[in-house]
Structures are given as structure tokens and as C-alpha cells.
Amino acid sequence: MRTLTRRTLGTAALALPLALAACGRSAVDSQEAATSRGPISIWVSTNEQELAWGKAVSEAWNAEHEHEPVTLQEIPAGSSSEEAITAAIVAGTTPDLIFNISPAALPDWMRAGGLVDLTTFEGGRRHIEERGGTRARNYAEDEGKGGYYQLPWKSNPVMLMYNRKIFADAGLDAETPDLDTFDKLLDASRQIVSSGAAGSAIWPSPTSDFYQPWSDFYPLYLAQTGGTRLIENGSPTFDSPDGLAVARMWRSMYDEELAPREQSTDDAMTTGATAMQLAGPYAIATYKDAIDYGFMPVPTAEGIPAGKTITFADSKNVSLCSTSRNRLTAWDFLAFATGEEWDGKLLELTGQMPLRQDLASVYPDYFAKNPDYTSFADQADRVADVPYVSGGIEIWQRFRDAYSGAVIFGTDSVEQGLSDVAHQIDALIKE
């Protein structure tokens, strides 16, 4: 009895401070915030070039808006940015604008009430759709008919990058390799490895992170299907002849040891350990002084003309958070930073493609000076993104886990692996 009362007392003592802890987080009055102006803060990715852009644009803004200054903060560019944003939304500590929104995670953040519909601002819809064209609709609610919780900002269209010197050493055509089918890609890969020109033909990161399919399976799958996303109309699409063809191609790469099953400890392209990788235009800045490279469109099973190839957009977007107390300023700044001038600056500083129509004709000078990027500007008109579904990260993680077993490590058959995970994902969506 005595111990019992003692325990109860101890528990009561523990419960006391909880009352303090439970006091509420003050929510923003959205009516008032929608018409309010004042200082705002923005998050930009830690990526060196994007940061330089962020600093330049906020300085330019601050010079003209004394009473509505913008403060810049950094969030990590890689895997951990989603966690940081999720936690901040739940705690109500998000900034006014985030310039690093992954469309895969966005539907969940929207449902958590963390973001603001941009079409509630005057001219919001017009700005987004004039800038992005019809494909902006892929980023809107209700199959493109509803509001926008993100402004489609920039893309990194994925192409097949190759090392010209290794191709030449392997006796391949280094100028126009023409690897537009899976068979040609596999043959070339065998030639690269057997000739000893490089230890491996291609080296996608084989790790289990949910976003890794975006740089191996998914770009090829989008090209193969002409832009069918992983999930369409609420059902997984990849358990199909097209999906199997892509997965079998990668399985051959791993089985024949043309692609390593281990993550590279170096940058495999720089060190010449591998001849190819799937990459976006951001790669140019990294490799321009290191290797002699070329780009080609991603291949498909039977081959399609380069001008028709669709690839993965790998876009990052901008959202306005519901914690914003000065939403008018935030919206004005967003429109300012995604206008023609600062989109051009983004292109110039980062080499990433603003999600804007007719890039090549809007910035002719840039592409004249930087011919390397022209193929990306062309490709940027034919991209598809991740499906707009809630629970996106969980779906991608499941897919990666299954792919990892069925394709990379070969512990399961490709058919079985894809079919099983398609059922799991289907069940997840229906839930």
C-alpha cells in the first residue's frame, strides 16, 4: 500500500509540469495575415549556387523594400530537408516561403495544413500558369483543376551523361554514341567494362533512400512509357511490360556487374571509375573542369527519337507557409523572385532550369554563351514529375525497398518484386 501511494505521488509530481507543456501554439489569423505586409523569412537550400541566388535576390528586394525586409535561412539540400520541413510545419516554426519544396512530399504537408493556396492571391493563378504553361497544372490540386499550394519553380531534367574519354578508350563513338535502346546501352556497357576502359559502366547510387529511384529507374520508366507517372488515377502503373522492361535492363546491369552494388566512396565520374550517370544540368558545374563529358537523352527499350523523349523533371518548388503573418509581402516577393529577371539569374547562377515556357527563346543570350545547357533547355519542355498523391514518400520508400531486392541485389525475381510492391502500394492508396 505504502509503495503504491508513493508511486502515485511520484507520478503526480511528474504530471505537474505537463500542464505547462501543454499550453497552446498560437495560430496565425489567416484573414489578417492575407492582407498584411512586413518582414518575412525564407528558406533556401544549402547548395552553394542556390544560396548565391537566394542572397542576390533578397538583397535586391531589400534595397527597395525597407519595411518588408527578407531574411534568408538555409535548409539542407539532400534527404534531410523533408524531415526539417515536416517538423517545422507541425511545430508552426516554418518561415514565410520555402524555396526547396519536394513535390513528392507536398500533398502531405498541404493536408497537414502547413501551406497556403497561392490562387487566393490576386493574380496568383495567372502568374503561375503564364510562367509555367499548361504543364503547371500537373502541380495543382484536383487533377490540375484546383488551387496551387506550390509554384513549380525549377527542374533538373535527367539525361544520360557520359565520359567521352572512356567511351573513346572503349572503342565507342565518343561524339554521338547513339545509345537510344536498352540493348545498345547494355552492349556499350559490356564493351566499356570488358575493354578495361573503366571499372564500371554506370554507377547509380544503390542505397535504400526513398528518392534514389529518381536517378535510376524512374527517368527511364518515364521515357519508356511516354510520361506515365508511377501512379495514375489512383493506381500503380509500373507493374506492366514497360516497367518490367526497365527493371530487367537494370537487373542485367547489376547481374553482369556493369553497375556496382556498393555506393561509391568517391565521385565515380570524376575519378573515372564509371563511364556514365543519370544527371541533371546541375552536374555541369561539378564536372566542367574535371572531365570531358557529353549528354544524351535517356534510352528506351525500342528507341524513340530524341525530340520525343520524356524524362524525369526532378523539380523543386516554392510554397508559402500558413505560419506567414505577412502573406502579401510573401506573395509579392515570390512573384518578384520568379519573374523573368530572377529566373534568368537562377539559370545563370545554378544552371538549373526554371519551370518556365520556352526557356531557349526567353534567354537566348544565356544559351548562346552556354551551349552545354541547350540540350537541357530543350529537354526541359518534355518532362514529367512524381505523381501527386498523399503518402508519396512512403510509396517511394516501398518501391525502393522492393526494387532493391528484385533489381539491385537480385534476391527476388523482377516480376515477383514489382507485382508484390504494386499490390502493397495499391492497398496504401486505397486506405
Enumerate residues 102-121 that contact other proteins by CB under 8 A: 108, 111-114
Report the alpha-carbon distance of residue 407 to residue 218 in Å, rounded: 13
Nearest distance, CB of residue 382 and other proteins, angstroms: 26
What is the bridge-based pairing of β-strands 274-279 and 200-202?
parallel
Site size toward other proteins, by CB under 8 A: 78
Among 78, 123, 171, 241, binds other proteins (CB under 8 A): 78
Q: What is the 3-state secondary structure (H, E, C) of 362-418?
A: HCHHHHHHCHHHHHHHHHCCCEECCCCCCCHHHHHHHHHHHHHHHHHCCCCCHHHHH
Dihedral angle of Cα 159, 163, 167, 173, to the nearest 10 degrees: 50
Nearest distance, CB of residue 71 and other proteins, angstroms: 10
Per CB under 8 A, 55 contacts other proteins: no
**Which residues between 371 and 430 bind other proteins (CB under 8 A)?**
391, 393-394, 397, 401, 404-405, 408-409, 411
Query: Given the complex with other proteins, which of 67 and 430 has the nearer CB atom?
Result: 430
Report the alpha-carbon distance of residue 358 to residue 189 in Å, rounded: 35
Per CB under 8 A, 141 contacts other proteins: no
Helix, strand, coil tally for the chain in percent (to 5): 50, 15, 35
Residues facing residue 311 across a β-bridge: 383
Nearest distance, CB of residue 93 and other proteins, angstroms: 5
Per CB under 8 A, 176 contacts other proteins: no
Per CB under 8 A, 26 contacts other proteins: yes
Among 32, 55, 59, 83, binds other proteins (CB under 8 A): 83
Among 209, 255, 341, 415, binds other proteins (CB under 8 A): 209
Query: Given the complex with other proteins, which of 12 and 63 has the nearer CB atom?
Result: 12
C-alpha 163 chain-centroid distance: 24
Q: Which stretch binds other proteins (CB under 8 A): 157-165, 223-231, 284-292, 338-346?
A: 284-292
Nearest distance, CB of residue 345 and other proteins, angstroms: 20
Per CB under 8 A, 235 contacts other proteins: no
Question: Nearest to residue 387, comparing CAs of 240, 222, 239, 146?
Answer: 222
Per CB under 8 A, 270 contacts other proteins: yes
For the packed helices 217-225 and 241-255, what is the interaxial angle rounded to 10 degrees?
A: 140
Among 38, 69, 76, 344, binds other proteins (CB under 8 A): 76
The phi, psi pair for 160, rounded to 5°, reads -95, 115
Per CB under 8 A, 260 contacts other proteins: yes
Q: Which stretch binds other proteins (CB under 8 A): 32-40, 70-78, 230-238, 367-375?
A: 70-78
Per CB under 8 A, 93 contacts other proteins: yes
Among 80, 194, 235, 416, binds other proteins (CB under 8 A): 80
Could you say which DSSP state residue 238 is in? -
Nearest distance, CB of residue 244 and other proteins, angstroms: 19
Residue with cell 568517391: 266
Per CB under 8 A, 3 contacts other proteins: yes
Query: Given the complex with other proteins, which of 265 and 361 has the nearer CB atom?
Result: 265
Sequence-distant contacts of 289-293: CB under 8 A, at least 24 apart: 291/163, 291/164, 291/165, 292/163, 292/164, 292/165, 293/161, 293/162, 293/163, 293/164, 293/269
Cα Rg, the chain, nearest whole Å: 24
Contact 75, 43 (CB under 8 A): yes
Q: Which stretch binds other proteins (CB under 8 A): 119-127, 184-192, 282-290, 298-306?
A: 282-290
Query: Given the complex with other proteins, which of 50 and 180 has the nearer CB atom?
Result: 50
Nearest distance, CB of residue 389 and other proteins, angstroms: 13
Query: Given the complex with other proteins, which of 136 and 279 has the nearer CB atom?
Result: 279
Which letter, b or e, does each residue of 219-256 get, where b requires 16 or more Cβ atoms within 10 Å of its Cβ?
bbbbbbbebbbbbeeeebbbbbebbbbbbbbbbbbbee
